[in-house]
Amino acid sequence: MSIGSYPATRLRRTRQAGFIRDMVRETRLAPAQLIQPLFVAEGPLCGPVGAMPGVVRHDLDALVRECAALYALGIRSVALFPVTPAERKTPGGDEALNPDSLMCRSIRAIKQVVPQIGIVADVALDPYTSHGQDGVLDARGDVDNDATCEILRRQALLYARCGVDIVAPSDMMDGRVGHIRQVLERDGHKNTLILSYAAKYASAYYGPFRDAVGSAGNLGKGGKETYQMDPANADEALREVALDLAEGADIVMVKPGMPYLDIIRRVKDRFGVPVAAYQVSGEYSMLKAAAANGWLDEKKAVLEALTCFRRAGADMILTYHARDAAQWL
């Protein structure tokens, strides 16, 4: 790289007009890099999500229609999140293994009508547990790592058999990626991708999501600090990623997004593997609230945030803004 000096080098020359800014731009953002998270519910649980303006809990028909519309807009993949009625939640999260759960029916319905769209299914128990934790509890009330892994591997296999393209363990149990990879291989699902929530932090920014899926009430004052990462840690994120890759993850995720761009960069630089970023519910809510008040230009602020994820090293971004962004792009 040549290092110039003023006035031979004037960096404003390559910023002077659109044609040249467009040519020297280092980072590109395209709809195909965006994954749209979608909530699915039934009956009275359908409807708008209060803390996430513009986001709705779809019924099954609307979900399928939305997938077709997103695909037409250039979005290539969706991540599904089911809302479970309170009476179906148990301490053991049994609904996670029900072959006729809303999640399983959603995967099958989308694959029937829009088979080209990639489907990501979260593997974790929190939509189904009466205590709102991502796994089953031991005698002390902590999430039991190994007992939870046994259930997660069966949950992942169930979704693979329903035809899901990508399973995404979002639970942060140690060793779960290895368990899931092993059972998928054994059952002949050698092409099912694992997108591991590898560096997932115990974050306040998940608040609106927990309201959307109705797990906030179940969780109560309980936290997830015994399995999700401490926001103060970065070296530990690299260890998490290394383990998940060794166990068979195809894509690793960093979550939340904007406050964790340094983690994305370090993961990309260290491992050179496909990296996903999750711009989570609280980030969406902040941008929407500021835009609604006229404090931010929504389109500019959102596209800037998404571009910065790409610049930091994310190959793909899970974002509730995906539909709007695809339209703007």
Catalytic residues: 200, 255
Minimum distance, C-beta of residue 279 to ligand PBG, in the bound complex (Å)? 8
Q: Which residue of 39, 128, 159, 206 would you call a contact of ligand PBG, by CB under 6 A?
A: 206
- Measured CA to CA, the distance from residue 151 to residue 134 in angstroms comes to 11
| Residue 126 in the binding site for ligand PBG (CB under 6 A) | yes
Q: Which residue of 65, 161, 210, 299 would you call a contact of ligand PBG, by CB under 6 A?
A: 210
Q: Which residue of 45, 280, 305, 312 would you call a contact of ligand PBG, by CB under 6 A?
A: 280
Site string for ligand PBG, 86-125 (x = CB under 6 A): ------------------------------------x-x-
CA distances from 113 to 61, 66, 78, 290 (A): 11, 11, 14, 37
Which tokens is 241 given? 């990623």
Residue 207 or 248 with smaller CB distance to ligand PBG: 207
| Residue 281 in the binding site for ligand PBG (CB under 6 A) | yes
Q: Which residue of 209, 227, 260, 309 would you call a contact of ligand PBG, by CB under 6 A?
A: 209
- Measured CA to CA, the distance from residue 146 to residue 143 in angstroms comes to 9
Choose among 201, 163, 159, 200: nearest CA to 180.
Answer: 159
Minimum distance, C-beta of residue 227 to ligand PBG, in the bound complex (Å)? 9
Residue 159 or 209 with smaller CB distance to ligand PBG: 209
Segment contacting ligand PBG by CB under 6 A, of 59-67, 140-148, 205-213, 304-312: 205-213
Site string for ligand PBG, 148-177 (x = CB under 6 A): ----------------------xx------
Residue 122 or 240 with smaller CB distance to ligand PBG: 122
| Residue 133 in the binding site for ligand PBG (CB under 6 A) | no
CA dihedral 204, 209, 214, 218 (to 10 degrees): -20
- Measured CA to CA, the distance from residue 118 to residue 128 in angstroms comes to 24
Residue 247 or 283 with smaller CB distance to ligand PBG: 283
| Residue 258 in the binding site for ligand PBG (CB under 6 A) | no
- Measured CA to CA, the distance from residue 75 to residue 217 in angstroms comes to 32
Residue 8 or 121 with smaller CB distance to ligand PBG: 121
Residue 122 or 244 with smaller CB distance to ligand PBG: 122
End-to-end CA, the chain: 32
- Measured CA to CA, the distance from residue 74 to residue 77 in angstroms comes to 9
170 residue type, one letter:
S
Q: Decide if 121 contacts 166 (C-beta within 8 A).
A: yes
Q: DSSP assignment of 212-267, as one string?
A: HTT-HHHHTT---TTTSBPTT-SHHHHHHHHHHHHHT-SEEEEES-GGGHHHHHHH
Q: DSSP assignment of 161-207, as one string?
A: HHT-SEEEE-S--TTHHHHHHHHHHHTT-TT-EEEEEEEEB--GGGH
| Residue 265 in the binding site for ligand PBG (CB under 6 A) | no
The residues binding ligand PBG (CB under 6 A) are 122, 124, 126, 134, 170-171, 206, 209-210, 280-281
